[in-house]
């Protein structure tokens, strides 16, 4: 081995050792390392591999920077942002899995209920045909009663599932409220954003880009959804500005992870002046909000 190669190996080893020593000497780095390890062993490992990789890179850069330096502060902010993104993605994935499981359970119970209703109709037909056979009439009436109880039990279970779904929707709204104001109505979920913070003229601000990125991180794991960007003109004659803003916001949603085929935009004169929102609704043929 030449002297130059030997010195390069020694220098690399010293740098690696310095990074480990920095983490050992800096309690904040130790805390961040523990947080990253916990995320890597949980749901985030599958739901947010890219965010974890970027958080890991930021932590490594922190260990090489001097505490209190601009580079250290920059990498700390980056670590906090990416680890938070990983936590939100993991939570969204877990919630989406629960919603899917509840939907499957609901569909199974609806199938059972349809079978029970068909059976009940069949029994009623038998009663009409055997009206004069008193002994058999009693037997059939007893069977109808058993089916009625089974139907009531199934309806009760469906009601419980509906309550569980309401709780899940409340939890989803709580998550979404971190990135937008949420309002539900017959159209779907209205995710209202601060137009003044999102745009300068027709262009999106850096803060607006970050807000959209956070919103997409929360909703892109939800199945079977469509999204319509709706922007109202601030005053008569600014429809072109509103249209440009709607298109810019739609492109940002696509840029940060939503499929282009589920995103569209519109200028909505019926909204309050200057209002910006994303209408989230179920895709045709899908359940849920």
Whether residues 204 and 275 fall in one domain: yes
State the pLDDT at residue 14: 42
State the pLDDT at residue 76: 94
Mean pLDDT of all residues in 27-42: 94
The least confident of 1-10, 215-224, 247-256 is 1-10
- 220 to each of 18, 83, 173, 213, 224, how far by Cα in Å? 40, 18, 14, 10, 10
State the pLDDT at residue 273: 86
Asked if residue 203 has pLDDT above 50, the reply is yes
Asked if residue 6 has pLDDT above 70, the reply is no
Model pLDDT for residues 131-167, shown as the tens digit of each residue? 888 888 888 889 989 999 889 888 988 887 767 766 7
State the pLDDT at residue 288: 59
Asked if residue 205 has pLDDT above 90, the reply is yes
Model pLDDT for residues 85-122, shown as the tens digit of each residue? 999 999 998 898 898 898 899 989 889 989 989 999 99
The span from the CA of 202 to the CA of 247, in Å, is 10
Specify whether the CB–CB gap between 219 and 280 falls below 8 A. Answer: yes
- 12 to each of 15, 62, 183, how far by Cα in Å? 5, 17, 55
State the pLDDT at residue 170: 75
pLDDT tier for residue 5 given thresholds of 50, 70 and 90? very low
Total tally of structural domains belonging to the chain: 3
Q: Residue 44 belongs to what domain range? A: 3-93
- 191 to each of 36, 98, 229, 234, 277, how far by Cα in Å? 31, 22, 10, 19, 5
Model pLDDT for residues 169-186, shown as the tens digit of each residue? 677 778 788 778 999 999
Q: Choose one of 123, 139, 173: the last residue of a domain.
A: 173
Query: For the packed helices 206-219 and 70-129, what is the interaxial angle rounded to 10 degrees?
Result: 40
State the pLDDT at residue 210: 94
Asked if residue 289 belongs to a domain, the reply is: no
Whether residues 187 and 277 fall in one domain: yes
Whether residues 185 and 262 fall in one domain: yes
Phi, psi of 185 (to 5 degrees): -150, -170
Asked if residue 271 belongs to a domain, the reply is: yes
State the pLDDT at residue 171: 74
The span from the CA of 232 to the CA of 266, in Å, is 9
Q: Choose one of 93, 108, 127: the last residue of a domain.
A: 93
The span from the CA of 169 to the CA of 171, in Å, is 5
Mean pLDDT of all residues in 16-22: 52
Q: Which residues contact 55 (CB under 8 A, 6 or more apart)?
A: 36, 39, 78, 79, 82, 83, 86
Residue 184: strand, helix, or coil: strand
Asked if residue 254 has pLDDT above 90, the reply is yes
Q: Choose one of 133, 154, 173: the last residue of a domain.
A: 173
Asked if residue 65 has pLDDT above 50, the reply is yes
The span from the CA of 241 to the CA of 237, in Å, is 9
Task: Please give the model's pTM, rounded to 2 decimal places.
Answer: 0.44
């Amino acid at each position: 081995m030449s002297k130059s190669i030997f010195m390069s190996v020694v220098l690399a080893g010293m740098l690696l050792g310095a990074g480990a020593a920095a983490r050992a000497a800096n309690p904040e780095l130790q805390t961040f390392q523990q947080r990253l390890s916990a995320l890597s062993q949980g749901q985030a490992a599958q739901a947010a591999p890219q965010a974890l990789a970027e958080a890991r890179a930021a932590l490594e850069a922190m260990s090489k920077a001097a505490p209190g330096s601009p580079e250290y502060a920059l990498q700390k902010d980056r670590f906090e942002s990416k680890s938070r993104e990983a936590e939100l993605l993991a939570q969204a994935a877990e919630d989406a899995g629960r919603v899917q499981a509840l939907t499957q359970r609901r569909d199974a119970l609806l199938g059972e209920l349809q079978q029970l209703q068909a059976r009940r109709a069949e029994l009623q037909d038998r009663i009409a045909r055997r009206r004069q056979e008193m002994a058999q009439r009693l037997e059939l009436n007893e069977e109808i009663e058993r089916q009625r109880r089974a139907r009531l039990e199934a309806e009760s279970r469906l009601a419980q599932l509906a309550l569980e779904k309401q709780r899940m929707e409340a939890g989803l709204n709580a998550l979404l409220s971190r990135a937008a104001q949420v309002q539900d109505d017959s159209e779907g979920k209205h995710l209202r954003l601060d137009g003044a913070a999102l745009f300068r003229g027709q262009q999106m601000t850096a803060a607006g880009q970050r807000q959209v990125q956070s919103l997409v991180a929360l909703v892109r794991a939800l199945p079977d959804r469509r999204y319509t960007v709706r922007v109202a003109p601030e005053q008569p004659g600014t429809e072109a500005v509103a249209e440009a803003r709607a298109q810019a916001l739609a492109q940002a949603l696509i840029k940060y992870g939503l499929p282009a085929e589920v995103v569209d935009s519109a200028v909505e004169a019926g909204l309050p002046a200057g209002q910006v929102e994303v209408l989230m609704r179920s895709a045709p043929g899908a359940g849920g909000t």
